[in-house]
Structure 1
């Protein structure tokens, strides 16, 4: 038995969507009592920390409906069914920024919200970017603006909460800790 394991008694699928699925599980707790867990199932996601030859971070600004505001973030997106995370990272980089790379290095992966979701995000980095002449079109319902910021500018954006999501904050902290820029 896993430490503090909660055994599922029954599971009810509530919603199956394009991005997430929601289910409600009845579970047996480690102390023998029962409880209910609302769980979001997500296919996983990727994000890229793209660094230009001028030592600037390429970020994208887009409107986030759940927050009712725009955020500036590192390029990212969800995995398609059976998609390799490395291939997905290159795809998202190309679609969102118009850059590509043949040198993408894995940094880490982490669960974005383990209290209610199983989304696992993979983070990659590249400083070997090439501007594409004809970048692929992104999603029809996705509108982004590309920004290039120094690490110091990005840190200021964090303070101003223009950068206000976990993956991008992680990226900035990672770059700061490396002393790369």
Structure 2
């Protein structure tokens, strides 16, 4: 059986600042019909940045939907037609007092494929340097947090780090032979 659903009709439910919500009528591979509600998202990029002192650069910020402050790698949504690598460099410079000469792609993944088409692009920052300017978006209030490898492992173990993109990015640093 071919595992593909076919959209037979689509209704725009919500048109927001950067996401849209759709309700689609679909035909399933077995011929049955159902409805799917899903979110269209422009995609995002995150960056694993390790200082020359072997500390990971993280940001702590309030996440309204989660109802708590989370510890995360710098990340943000893609602007229209923006290359994800450019987004990763921009987010590092906007959210932290650091910048990178360039980034290299580590992975990409769907954040919540059951209801959203967002793809998160994961990058590693190359040649990091300190930049005294912070320029977060107007609606972002962030704190920069530096952790060494042991501190990062402890933060994962004690539940301080709960963000999926951060756990995935940190895996590339903390378990390099497994990735």
TM-score by length of 2: 0.94
2:98·2:132 contact (CA, 8 Å) conserved in 1? Answer: no
* Deviation at residue 133 of structure 1 after TM alignment: 3.6
Q: Secondary structure at the match of 1:154?
A: helix
* Deviation at residue 134 of structure 1 after TM alignment: 3.4
Task: Give structure 1 stretches of 5+ with no counterpart.
Answer: none
Residue number in structure 1 paired with 2:163: 165
Say yes or no: does 1:25 pair with 2:9: no
C-alpha distance in 2 between matches for 1:21 and 1:99: 33
C-alpha distance in 2 between matches for 1:96 and 1:133: 12
Task: Give structure 2 stretches of 5+ with no counterpart.
Answer: none
Say yes or no: does 1:101 pair with 2:110: no
1:22·1:40 contact (CA, 8 Å) conserved in 2? Answer: yes
Aligned length: 177
* Deviation at residue 97 of structure 1 after TM alignment: 0.7
Q: Structure 2 matches for 1:1-181, cutoff 5 A?
A: 3-135=2-134, 137-178=135-176
Query: CA RMSD, aligned part only?
Result: 1.4
Cα separation, partners in 2 of 1:127 and 1:55, compared to 1, 3 Å? farther
TM-score by length of 1: 0.93
